[in-house]
Structures are given as C-alpha cells and as structure tokens.
Chains A and B, each alone.
Chain A
Amino acid sequence: MTKSRDDHDPGRRNFLKGVGIAGAGAAIADHLWVEAEAAEKPPTSETLSGTVKVILDVNGQQRSVQVEPRTTLLNALRNHLEPALTGPKLVCDVGTCGACTVLLDGKPAYSCLVFAVDATNKKITTVEGLGSPDNPNAVQAAFVEHDALMCGFCTPGFVTTISAYLKKNPTPTLAEVREACKGNFCRCGTYPRVFEAALAAAKGSQA
C-alpha cells in the first residue's frame, strides 16, 4: 500500500485524495457502525485467533515479532518488538499527522498505514536508527541547536522525513523544505524552527 507514494512525500494529501468519500464519511460511519454491529453475530474465536511470525529488518538488525496479520508496522514496533522501538509515535493512527513516519528502503512512510506483514522485505529505519543522543545525525543536531522542538511528540516524524528528504535533495530551498514536511503536523508551533533546522542541516552537510 505504500507503492504509489512519490519519493519524498509521505503524502497526507495524496493519501486523502485516495480515500475520498470514505474518509469524509468516517464520522458518520462510526455512528452507524454501533447499531449495525450490535445486530450481527458476535465475532467467533476463529476469526480472531492466529498470529504469524514476522521478521523485520529494523535499523540494520533482523528482529522477529509474533503478530496478528492486521497489526500495523507501528504497533508491531511499539507493542510487540522486544525491546520496543517507541521513537515513531502513535498520534492519529489513520495517516493524517506524520508522527509515526519511518523509512522503508530509505523512503518515508506512515507506519500506521503499513501492515507489519507487508514490511518484511524492506529495510526499516526508525528515528533511533538515524542517530543517538551522543552521535546525532546532522538533522537531529540542528533540531536541538535551533530549538525545532517543544513537547517533542511530533519531532521523530519531522526528523525522519527531513533526514530522508535531504538525502534526495541536499540543497533545498525554504519552499522545498515546507513542501517536504507538509505531511507532518506539529501542535506546539515549531514549524519556523523546523525549517531553520532543516536548512542549517543541509548547509552543514555541504560544508
């Protein structure tokens, strides 16, 4: 389900175009669901049982998890991997905010929209795989330097998106940086400094 995404844009807007009416009607559907479901037979244990072993290539390591096929990559990383990877955040769970962004073969993807079973043949990089507190990558270091974070909950998503984008376009303009992170939301209001940090990281890497 990630194939149609273009190279740098994890694509909240593109994604929304795809779901169209279904997305817009979700609120009403939820309302009707309660009644419709109540009328049906309760789910049987057959439909619910069954986990599969999934091997994930995460941050250069082969990691094994036992999950239901419906488990998202995000939930597999956070709730099943031992020890967990909780850098990617669960914020909306429906591909609208970008906080769960990871790299699949170097390209940003919303890990809440990818099933873990669909990620088996890909190299997965989370924000933890980009750098560490003692050895941050250029984007992470610039985020700290320029105060491109406040509460920090959106930060892993921005860092991951921008790190991938700078690989593709090492000398972006401000307009290109804005475009690159249009699929990531921040609530505290860090955008201006996210842009500054991204441009500084790009400049620093050129030097």
Chain B
Amino acid sequence: MQQQPQPQPSPSPKPKKKIRVPRVVNGVEQMVEIEVDENAGPGWGANDKHTLLNHKITRVDGPLKVTGVARYTYDQRLPGMLYGCILRCPYGHARVTKIDTEAASRIPGVKAIVQAPLTELRFAGAPVAAVAATTPEIAGDALRAIKVTYEVLPHVVHAPAAIKPDAPKVVAEESNLQEKAKNGDLQKAEAAFANADAIVEAEYISQRLHHACLETHGMVVDYRGGDSATIYASTQGTFTIPGDAAKELGLEQSKVVSSVEHMGGGFGSKFGIGTEGMFACRLSKETKSPVKLMLTRYDEFVMAGNRSGSWQKLKAGAKNDGTIVALTARQYRLGGIGQGSQAGQPYIYRMGDTYREVYALHTNEDSSIAMRAPGHPQASFAVESLVDELAYKIKMDPVEFRKKNLRDEVYHRQLDRGSREIGWSRRNPIAGGNPGPLKRGMGCAVGTWGGGGNNQCKVDVTISRDGSVLVAVGTQDLGTGTRTYTRAIVAEELGLGIKDVKEQIGNSTLGAANPSGGSTTAPSLSPSVKDAAIKARMLVAERVAPLLGNAKPEEIVFAGGNVSAKGQSLSWKQAAAALPAAGITSHGEWRADLQARGVHGVCFAEVEVDVETGHIRPVKMVHIQDGGLPLNRLTMESQINGGMIQSLGMALYEGRVMDAQLGMQLNPGFGDYKLPGSLEMPEMVPIIDDDDKREAVIGIAEGCIIPAVGALVNAVFNATGVRVRELPITPDKILIGLMT
C-alpha cells in the first residue's frame, strides 16, 4: 500500500504579487501592503453550487445559548474569586487632590483598593479607583466609603458651546477645535454653484450613540501568584488581550492565555484590555486571587466609549436634469476627548466640484471609539438627507435622482429591486401630501464598505483515525456566526455534514486570528479555513488513493459522507481508518483570491407618522446587501436585520443626553436611553443580493448598518413634509416642524 514518494524537482519560487489589505487597530481600519501568491489553488466554485455554504445553516452554538449553558466571560466563577468595581469621577472636568481609602479598606470582605494615576480627569465617569471584595455588594459598599477630594475645573459638554473662543478648554492651552483635513478646490466648487438650478444649504447633526452591548466590558483575571495567568475576556480580539495583560501582571506574554468562549456583543467597542482590564489585572496581582471586573451598566454608558457624534454644514447644487454640480462641506467630528470619526463628504455620490474641511471638536465627554462602520452612518445620514432635499427641490423622483449621481451600476440594480420590494409606486411624490392624521411616507438610501480580509489567520484541521474532524483557530464569535461557518467550510470540503466537524475557537493558544473589526473576520478567516480544509482533503486523498484503484488524489471525490474514485467508494470512517495512528493535521494560511473587497447596500423604509402627536411608526424596512459568497444565508439575514434595527435606534430613539451644568450624562441606563424594542419593530425584509456573482467572501456586518438611517429620515420627510436634520427624530421635532 505504501508508495515511494516521487522525487520532487526543487520548487521554483511561486509568482508573488503585492496587494493592499485592511488591518484593524482598535477597531479602525488601516491599509497595509502585503505579498501574496499569484496562483494559490482551487477556488470556492460557483455560488449556487455549494452543498452547505450559501444555505441556511442553524448556529452550531445555538443549543448552548438558548438553554443557558453557554458560558460567557460574565458567567465565569472561579474558586476564591473576588469581584471588582470602579469608582468614577462625578465631574465633567476635575483634578483629584486626595483619595482617602482608610474607611473603605476596613470593611470586612474588602481585599484590595487600587488608584488610577493622579492625572486630570476630563469627563464625568473617568475612573478614579477600583476595589476588589468578596461579593459585588461589598465592593459597592467600599466604593461609597472612599473619600475623594476633587479640584473642580470648568467643563464644556455641548459642541455649539465648545466651539466658542471663550469656551472652557478640554485640554489646557489647546483649542477645542482641531483642523484635521482640507480636500478639494474651494474656489472651483464655489464657482460651480453658478451652474446649479437649485441649491440646498443645511446643517445636519447626529448624536452620540452607545454600543449598549448586553454583556458589559470586562474580564476575569485568573492569577494566583506564580508565573502564568488566564484571562477570560469579553472581547472582539482574543489576541488583543495577552500582551497588555502580561504587562500589567508583570508576566511574560507567552505565559498569559486569553479565553473568549462566547461573548455578548461588541459592535466595535471591545478591543484590548481597556481601563477595566488594567484595574482587574492590578487587583488580581495585588491579591493573588482571581478577580472578575465587569462594568456596571452605568459604567458602560459613561466610560466604555460611544459612536462619534457629527455636525455637518453642507451646501450642494444640482441642475434641473438631476446632475449634482458642486458641494462644499464643513465637517465636525464630535468625539469628546477623542478624535471622533466621520467619512468625508461627498459620501458615495458623485457631486462635481467638491471641497471639504474636517475638524475634531472636543468636549468633556469620554472618547468616542469605533462603532459598527465607524464614521459611515453619520456621513450617510447627512448626504442622503442632502440628496433627498435636492431631489425634492428640482421635483425629481429621489430614486432616479440617486441613480443619476451614482456611478456604480450595482446601486442602480439594487435601487430597482428595493423600489419593487417596498412598493415605491405607491409613494405620494408630494411630501406630507397624504390625507388624514396618519400619514405614510417612503425613503431610500445607499451604503458602501470595504469588507476585505488580511493574512492574520492560521488554521489547523485535524482528522483522527476514527473519522472525527476538528478545526481549530483562536478567533472569536461575536454572535455573527463565526463558529458555524468555520465548521461548515471544513465539512463541505470533506463532503461531510455540519455535525461531523467540531470547531475550537476563542483561545490564544490556538492559531492566530485577526480582531473582529471592520467586517474583516469572515474574509480573513474563511480563506485560511478553506486552505486548511483543502490541504486536509489532499492528505486524506493521498492516503486512500491506493484503496481507490490508485486514483490521482485530485480525482478523488469527497461527497455525501463518502470518498470515491474510479467507481469505488469508501465511507468516511473507512477512509479515515487509512490514516496514520496520530491522524493528520493540515495548516491553512490566508489566500487573497478567496476573498474580495467592496460591498453595496440599499435600504428602503416606510413609516407612518401621526401628525397630531408626532409619533412615528416604522411600517416596513427592506435592505438589499451584496457580499460575494454568502457563507450562511441564515446568519447573514440576521446580520442585515441587525443593521436595520440598530439604524432604527439611531434614526428615531437613541441618543446620549448631557447636562450642561453638571457636565454629566442624564440617561446612562436602559430606562432613559431608548433602545429599539419589540413594539417598535416594522416588518423587516432582509435580502441577499444574489446577482453578485463574485466567488469570494466579503464581510457585510458594517455594510448593512449604513443606509437605513437615511432611508428612515427621508421616509419621515415624505410622510410629513418636515425635514428633521438633528437625530434622533423624536415626536417633539415633528410637531415643531409642522408648526413652523
């Protein structure tokens, strides 16, 4: 049975090419250049020829999650574990002059108190100290017993106040307003307005939003003295944890393992150990005991980051034939003490001669951080409102007007499809023109994203002699379905069912993986999984070839749980029995040719507005999303739904409310910060754009959160004739609009 290995010619170096790929650092994409093989191997095949992928596959971790068995970071409980919590600064701007922990440390059960460095605190909620105690209740007692003396400094929390020359300075000696970029030719753009038949000049403001992950930020640090530690972290990046934790614990990075079995939502906010992780490590190091430090919901609102707000002053002009000829934009990123984020205008649309200035405008609020499609929904909301205003002004159908100014034909196709799905022909072209107090209206918008991958994932597939198959990689599943498609790719390649393969993920001792940000996970991970699976198939094929009439390995077919060639067939178990005692393990690397970059989405919304109360009822939302090869139609549709629902929150309900006098957030809880709930749900139609024939995996999570806000805002205008330019569109804004 054993064949002599053929003498191999010395391999000539494979042709290489240079490509640019996205890499995510703290949730933000950066482009880097890498080298990849020109001819890498077999592809995915046609999108409609798959046996598992591009089908509806139920989540493999579903049964664990619906029965409460799935163990999240928050659920970890270790012997002797202490509970940590954080004391926050109550002032918008202050300096700590003294911390007295004497009384707190005398409370029975309090094991350690650590202080933050005595720096200037620039927002209400900034951490001051942390406590570890035997129960969370006692830890809370200790927080209340710590006496902090503050020197209170002047603060400013609202952008219009912060931009004034005499405003309190967020950072001493620095202007609150920082110029970031100037692009385009202002004189040319201004001259081009002369060619416009209609001009719209308006200001659009989007609010600070909260990620509101149901599992708060935090970790369990299992350190009991000695030279090693395990960190259970609620994170979007398994491999973003050990390095920073090791530094805090004073250990070698190789001795610190992170574990992310299941995690309860991130949306861009969970990379690295964070302030809470720093405190957890320090408390654990001091007590030589495991410490669990999960933020409270209040903490989560005031110190765990948020979506950057935006203030955009836009002016655009269009000809009566529908061509947009010019745009000038002044864009303020409202990121609190952080830099904020906002895609540059004009976003997606072609607008002739354009000019923009971008600024960061600082306030005494905690730093904005990445949130699903950082900077895009803000830019989309403003430009889609602006485009809609222009369309109404020149009396052109908003769909036709958009097509006129969108170069990419994919949008044209998707806009046509969306029009049919929502019933655009039923729409009254006159805004507010429907009779009666309950007025319906429709709107639409488009979105884009990259969604390409990079070469960070290393995947191992092991096949044992009993036929069991394990695919292992350290990646994390945020609820996007990573576990499920990882398993499905291997199962399909080996001709097996989804239950015949097991996956192991969420641990830093496994193969490296990229952090999950910017829709980069699927396009980074799945090519490596596919590569490992192909190599595993070939290793099995080489072993069973002698049992199948000495067929060439690449001729052997793996399908339906059988391995066949030359009219002979083995069951999977029989084939596996031919493997060596230790089984086989293949190692997969990323392949650029199995992924692609660039997605398109359009959203249509229908709303019903009660013009007597200002109440808005979302009636129906349709989102069409392309994404190359859909790995799992069931979870992809769920992601599209999720994008629409989170946008619904941004458009109509959510927003941080800051008190100018106190300098603090007034609504840091679900009682006052309104998330979309079951009663607000419209009929939702998530549509996968199967006209996209790219045989490549592309990330779609960001793409499907971008256009819905614009669609909803424009639907409200179509229903009422009221153009609300500041989010969220609460009933009071409708009523004020109707009165003026």
A interface, CB within 8 angstroms of B:
12, 16, 23-24, 26-28, 30-31, 33-35, 37-38, 42-43, 45, 48-49, 68, 70-71, 75, 78-79, 84-94, 96-97, 99, 126-128, 130-134, 136, 139-140, 143-145, 147, 149-156, 159, 177-179, 181-182, 184-195
Contact = CB atoms under 8 A, between A and B. Distances in A.
A156 B108 CA distance: 35
The 9 closest A-B pairs by CB, nearest first: A87-B68, A151-B479, A189-B642, A42-B103, A153-B264, A152-B65, A189-B645, A86-B75, A144-B62
Contacts of B638: 147, 150, 188-190, 193
A126 B55 CA distance: 33
B137 A71 contact: yes
Contacts of A24: 672
A136 B65 CA distance: 11
B72 interface: yes
Given A152-B264, A189-B638, A190-B642, A96 B670 contact: yes
Contact of A91 (B66, B297, B478): B297
Contacts of A23: 671-672
A153 B72 contact: yes
B138 interface: yes
B641 A143 contact: no
A75 B75 CA distance: 11
Contact of A144 (B63, B262, B642): B63
Grouping DSSP codes into helix (H, G, I), strand (E, B) and loop, the B interface class, with mixed when no group exceeds half, is loop
6 contacts: A28-B666, A42-B145, A86-B72, A96-B671, A151-B262, A193-B641
Contacts of A152: 61, 65-66, 70, 262, 264, 479
Contacts of B214: 89, 91, 97, 99, 151, 153-154, 185-187
A30 B107 contact: no
Contacts of A97: 214, 670
Given A28-B666, A86-B75, A91-B216, 7 more contacts: A45-B107, A86-B74, A87-B68, A152-B262, A155-B65, A178-B678, A191-B681
A187 B138 contact: no
Nearest to B298: A30
Given A37-B144, A190-B642, A86 B62 contact: no
A167 to B, nearest CB: 17
Contact of B634 (A147, A177, A189): A147
Interface in B276-304: 294, 296-298
A189 B144 contact: no
A151 B215 contact: yes
Contact of B641 (A131, A155, A184, A189): A189
Contacts of B263: 151
B679 A182 contact: yes
A140 B297 CA distance: 27
A41 B147 CA distance: 11
Contacts of B481: 150
A7 B639 CA distance: 33
Contacts of A177: 678
Contacts of B177: none
Given A33-B144, A34-B90, A149 B65 contact: yes
B77 A78 contact: yes
B148 interface: yes
Nearest to B685: A192
A136 B642 contact: no
B148 A38 contact: yes
A70 B211 CA distance: 30
B641 A192 contact: yes
Nearest to B68: A87
Contact of A26 (B103, B136, B669): B669
Nearest to A23: B671
B675 A185 contact: yes
A92 B297 contact: yes
Nearest to A27: B666
A127 B644 CA distance: 29
Nearest to A68: B137
A24 B148 CA distance: 26
B75 A78 contact: yes
A126 B67 CA distance: 9
B557 interface: no
B41 to A, nearest CB: 32
Contacts of B132: none
B64 interface: yes
Contact of B297 (A93, A131, A156, A179): A93
Interface in B650-669: 662, 664-669
A80 B677 CA distance: 32
B582 interface: no
Given A70-B137, A178-B678, A34 B68 contact: no
B107 A128 contact: no
A150 B479 contact: yes
Given A48-B141, A182-B677, A127 B68 contact: yes
A185 B670 contact: yes
A118 B241 CA distance: 41
B354 interface: no
Interface string B678-711: 1101001000000000000000000000000000
Q: Which of B137, B147, B481, B671 has the most C-beta atoms of chain A within 10 angstroms of its own C-beta? A: B671
Nearest to A150: B479
Contacts of B109: 48
A121 B363 CA distance: 52
Contacts of A140: 63, 66-67
A65 B666 CA distance: 37
Nearest to B478: A151
B136 A79 contact: yes
A74 to B, nearest CB: 11
B145 A43 contact: yes
A156 to B, nearest CB: 5
Nearest to A19: B671
B467 to A, nearest CB: 22
B665 A27 contact: yes
Contacts of B66: 127, 131, 136, 139-140, 143-144, 149, 152, 155-156, 159
B108 A49 contact: yes
Interface centre among A12, A128, A151, A184 (most CB of B within 10 A): A151
A160 B29 CA distance: 39
